[in-house]
Each structure stands twice: as C-alpha cells, then as structure tokens.
Amino acid sequence: MKFFSRLAVAAVAALTLISTVPAQAAPKKEFKVAWSIYVGWMPWGYAADHGIVKKWADKYGIKIDVVQFNDYIESINQYTAGSLDGVLSTNMDALAIPSVGGVDTTAIIVGDYSNGNDAIILKDKDKLTDIKGQKVNLVELSVSHYLMARALETVGMSEKDVTVINTSDADMIAAWKTPDVSAMVTWNPMVATILQDSHAHSVFDSSSIPGEIQDCLVANTQTLKDNPDFGKAMVGIWFDTLALMQSGTPEAKAARESMAKASGTDLAGFEGQLKTTKMFWTPAEMVDFTDGDLVPAMDKVRHFLFEHGLLGDNAPSADVVGIEFADGKVIGDPKNVKFRFSDEYMKLAAEGKL
C-alpha cells in the first residue's frame, strides 16, 4: 500500500544496507521493478499481466520483472538494499530512504501528483482551524503528515497545535468509526470511504498544494547509465498502457475495470480516484511538468524531512543531500547529489524515438 510510515529507522536501516551493496555491474539483461497498490500505479500491474511489459522488454532484448509488493515501505527498502533496479515511490520517500541511504536515484517517470487524493477530515467540524487542540490520526512521517504540516501553515498554525496519533493505514476506516477519533489525515481509497459518513468533512486536501506529492518511477542512476535500454523500455511500457486506457475502445474499458478490481474497488470508484489524481497522460505533459520549476516543491519536502530527522541524525541542515533537476540545477550539496529528475526518456517518448 502506498504511503506507509516513513520512519527515520528505515533511513538508518538503509544506510546499513547500502554499505554491503556492490557496485552495479554493466551491462545486464535482467531487471526487477516493484510497484504497490495506488490508483496512479495500477497501470504497472495491468501491463505486467497483459504482455505489455514483455512486449517492450523483448524489443530491447532484455527481461523485466515487474513485481507487486503488498508492503510499500518494504519495496523501497529492497530497492535501497540493491535487490531491485527500480521502484514506484513518492518523491518524498525516494529522497528520504534510498537517497539519504547513499543510493544515487533517478526519477525517470513522474507519472502524476496527488490532486485531492490526500485529505484532512474532521468529524462534525467543517473548517481547518477547528483542528486546533485535536488529536489527529495519521500515518506518522508519511505524506499525510507532510500534508497536515503544509495545511497548518496556511492558517498560521503548526504541529504544536495538534497531537499526532500514529495510526496504520489499514486501521483508518475502523478508527474513524470510534468516538475517540475526531480528526484524520489519510489518502484514497480510505478518504472516499470515510467521506460517505455524513459526520465527515474534508477541510483540506492535496489539490491545495499541487505538484508537491509526486508519484514516480525511480531507478538506480548507475544502472540507467549502464543500461539505457532499461529506461527506454520502462517509459515505453508506461505510455503504451496509458494510451490503451485512453483509447475509448472496449479494451480500454476492460483495462480500467481490471485495474479497479485489482485495487479493491469498482470502475466508478477507480474513475473517481483518477479525478483526484493529476495524471500526465502524454509524454509531452510529463516533460512539461518535469522541466518546470520543481525546486519550490522539493525545497518544502526536504525541509520537512530535515525538521523530522529523516535526513539522518547528524544532518547539519536540509542541504545534506543534493537534488538535481532536469535542467541541471542543484539544491543542497552539489558534491552529494543522490536524487535526480531526468527528462531524457520522457523526451524520447515525446519525439517518438523509443
């Protein structure tokens, strides 16, 4: 499941794991990528099950194993440990775990950003300021935590004005039904379910911070350098699947229904979640976003991570890890760039050169 707890211990564990990982060998013919359940990532499971992954892997003479993980955080830890060549991750988690852990990581697909999928919900209250003094149930140190921090800023409050109650995503719906829970931050599909309760009111959601909670396919930078066909194939798989979804054919409807079922909802529920997800349906849209000014969003993310100890216990500032953007600009330590945004493969797709 997407957005599990991003505990500082995970980053520490990653530091330990990476010290044992050998340098990437080049070239290679077999690759392994992990994905987990989330509306914006469901095309990967469909592509794996319906021959689209094989089609593109065969084109480049390689093998790609796209594997579903039920535990999102475990997929990122496995990637950090070197067991995976790529993983589906939020921008925040890619920075907090593998990059902080020393794994030079590149986002080759920025598939979407949350545009309402993540929300703050209050019981019998309908204004964000009503959250003051309340206990707030959320997955601590997750993008839910980040969303709350950003929301509080907009009304002149801070985390000191609330009490965070760390709650597993699996327990959110049940917790909401208890009288002790009056404030919650979570994501779809839980948001949609909870908002069916007449006592539930969404008072802030991710559409108010567009572009900050990004969903990416990230890969080991050295692996990409040594094996560019791997990057080409992954981007080809993605846009081939999205093209099918948008084709307006019976096959498109069947594909969406398949993705809905795999994610535990029906077609209407899946379509509803897509509406609160800003998907980049074409290569040109994705290039435009990735080549745009991502600095403000990533600057907010890295400062949140620093303030919560997720850039390492000894990190002197938010600059400890360098972040490089598609235009070559770097924020943070330019001598320790470990997280990168690349438009290389997206542009090949946009130009029809895959």
Q: Report d(CA 32, CA 57) in Å as an integer.
A: 12
CB 302 within 8 A of CB 311: yes
Residue 123 is part of a domain; what is its CATH number? 3.40.190.10
Q: What pLDDT digit, counting tens, does each position of 55-78 carry?
A: 999 999 999 999 999 888 899 999
Boundary residue ending a domain (175, 208, 241): 208
Statement: residue 240 has pLDDT above 60: yes
pLDDT of residue 79: 98
User: CB-side exposure of 102: number of CA atoms within 13 Å?
Assistant: 14
Cα angle: 282, vertex 293, 139; to 5 degrees:
85
The answer to whether residue 17 is domain-embedded is yes
Give the mean pLDDT of 90-108.
96
Do 138 and 198 lie in a common domain?
yes
| pTM reported for the whole predicted model | 0.88
Question: Is residue 229 located within the same domain as residue 323?
Answer: yes
Whether 174 has a pLDDT exceeding 90, the answer reads yes
The per-residue pLDDT for range 294-322, each reduced to its tens digit, is: 999 999 999 999 999 999 888 999 999 99
**Count of the separate structural domains present in the chain:** 2
Domain boundary among 169, 189, 208: 208
| Phi and psi based region of residue 12 (left: phi greater than 0; alpha: psi -120 to 50; beta: remaining) | alpha
Q: What is the mean pLDDT of residues 102-106?
A: 98
pLDDT at residue 187, as a whole number: 86
- Domain check: are 137 and 85 in the same one? no
Q: Say yes or no to pLDDT of 199 above 50.
A: yes
pLDDT at 130: 98
**Structure confidence at residue 73 (pLDDT):** 84
Range of the domain at 247: 8-113+214-350
Residues whose CB is less than 8 angstroms from the CB of residue 49 and which lie 6 or more positions away in sequence, other chains included: 258
Going by the DSSP 8-state scheme, the letter that residue 319 receives in this structure is G
CB 3 within 8 A of CB 169: yes
The pLDDT, as a whole number, for residue 25 is: 59
pLDDT of 2 above 60: no
Give Cβ neighbours of residue 22 (< 8 Å, ≥ 6 apart): 82
In a domain, residue 3? The reply is: no
Give residue 340's pLDDT band: very low, low, confident or very high (50, 70, 90): very high
- Is there a single domain that holds both residue 181 and residue 240? no
**Closest Cα to residue 147, out of 170, 119, 173?**
119
